[in-house]
């Protein structure tokens, strides 16, 4: 199994952009644009990791009340869906989180099938977010 490697987003932007556009098209609730992801990576607020199965964009969030750090799997894109490939890298995520001083790893997804596989890999379900737009 080939582990993801840190990659400069400028070196593969055309390929990554297409994947991000696909993710955004599948989930209209996402508020960011592909260019936002590019900016976050170029400015050091997120990191792109690539592998033969796809790519990841990771960032770190800090709880304002406890100062606990969380490694956020912001974007996880695979070239071939349905195999839950990123869940095979849980130990890699844990090591990366330890090195970054993170207490938690978090992934967010609108894909309902992810729940079963995430729970099998030791993740716990903390909350589901339901949103209703308020009309004027």
Residue 87 three-state SS: helix
Asked whether the predicted pLDDT for residue 99 surpasses 80, the reply is: yes
Residues pairing with 70 in the sheet: 61, 104
- Are the C-beta atoms of residues 114 and 84 closer than 8 Å to each other? yes
Joined tokens for residue 119: 């729970």
Task: Report phi then psi at 85, rounded to 5.
Answer: -60, -35
Asked whether the predicted pLDDT for residue 72 surpasses 70, the reply is: yes
pLDDT of residue 131: 67
Q: How would residue 135 be classed by pLDDT, with cut points 50, 70 and 90?
A: confident
Q: How would residue 83 be classed by pLDDT, with cut points 50, 70 and 90?
A: low
- Give this prediction's pTM: 0.86
- Of 15-24, 53-62, 97-106, 121-130, the poorest mean pLDDT is in 121-130
- Are the C-beta atoms of residues 65 and 81 closer than 8 Å to each other? no
Q: What are the pLDDT digits (tens) for 30-63?
A: 999 999 999 999 999 999 999 998 999 999 999 9
């Amino acid at each position: 199994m080939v582990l993801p490697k840190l990659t400069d987003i400028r070196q593969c932007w055309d390929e990554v952009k297409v994947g991000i556009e696909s993710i955004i098209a599948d989930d209209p609730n996402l508020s960011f644009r592909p260019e936002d992801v590019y900016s976050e990576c170029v400015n050091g607020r997120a990191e792109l990791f690539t592998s033969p199965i796809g790519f990841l964009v990771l960032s770190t969030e800090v709880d304002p009340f406890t100062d606990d750090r969380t490694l956020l799997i912001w974007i996880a894109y695979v070239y071939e869906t349905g195999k839950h490939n990123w869940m095979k890298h849980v130990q890699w995520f844990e090591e990366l989180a330890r090195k970054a001083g993170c207490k938690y790893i978090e992934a967010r997804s609108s894909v309902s099938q992810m729940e079963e596989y995430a729970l099998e890999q030791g993740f716990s379900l903390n909350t589901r977010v339901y949103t209703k737009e308020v009309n004027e």
